[in-house]
Amino acid sequence: MFFAFSAPTIIWLLVFFLIPLGIIWFYSVGENVSLTEIDVTWTLSNYDRIFEPEILTLLWRSLWLAGITTIISLIVAYPVALVIATAEMKWKPWLLLIIILPFWTNLLIRTYALLNILGSWGRVNDVLYYLWYWADTALGWIGLGWVLGDRFAPVKFLGTELGVVIGLVYVALPFAILPIYSSLERMDKSFLEASMDLGASQFRTFFLILIPLTTAGLATAAILTFIPTIGSFLTPDLLGRGQVDMIANVIERQFKRANDWPFGSALSLMLLYVTFIILAIRAWIDMNRSKGRHA
């Protein structure tokens, strides 16, 4: 009976996940015979090319940007999740709606909106210009107008790692907020009350009680942020302006422009292996933690 219910899911995963993944694996051990034909020769040369300096540099940049994005997202997400978790019941649905609302808009449209916001004369630089103008005017009144210079120099976001990280954090933030909020909601609030009653400050309660009790939510948020970010394509493609490529941009070029499907398949599987390793480490940590509780 249970197989009858699970059969559609199994068939769906088989047809749209396992079989395409198997085809990609066969391509990764093959060679281009022509523009439209790939011969499976069981070669590992495509995997050897991953260790070329250019690819390793791109992989390191992807790991670096994904790591920075994850850290920033967790730092921003935790206070937001804490505010939602401690809000009155009537406000929680509305606050959660604000967090989920970006999912109702296509990612491409949201990224183009960031182009307008982060451009050389976008909204952020408009604000910075007005701040510079009023500061320059105030300094001019006291004879220090030379401090800021004669002209405002807009901050360059597009085509830089800073702009890409801002875009990645914007996309990943809801994935960090929701797991942390869920962990805070399930937490026993009596631990916090006991800590405060015993004389601990809010600072000590936050770092010694609240953070340890929500490590599971933090770990889930980190994984849900890091894994999609390291394979992100659209955000670095548009905000990086071809100057801040990540590994997914190289994979896209192998399939579309270079027509090197075997190498693109090897890169794709390498990214999948990294994902599996991260998930395996998380499972191993959870298993050891569970054994420690039962010991």
C-alpha closest to that of 208 among 220, 196, 218, 226: 196
d(Cα 77, Cα 181) in Å, to the nearest integer? 9
C-alpha closest to that of 286 among 229, 192, 228, 223: 223
User: 226-278: per-residue pLDDT in tens?
Assistant: 999 998 989 999 999 888 989 999 998 998 888 899 999 999 998 888 888 88
Pair 217, 85: CB distance under 8 Å:
no
Q: What is the pTM of this model?
A: 0.87
What was the pLDDT predicted at 169? Answer: 96
- Give the chain's residues under pLDDT 50: none
Pair 85, 185: CB distance under 8 Å:
yes
Domains annotated on the chain, with CATH: 54-120+156-294 (1.10.3720.10)
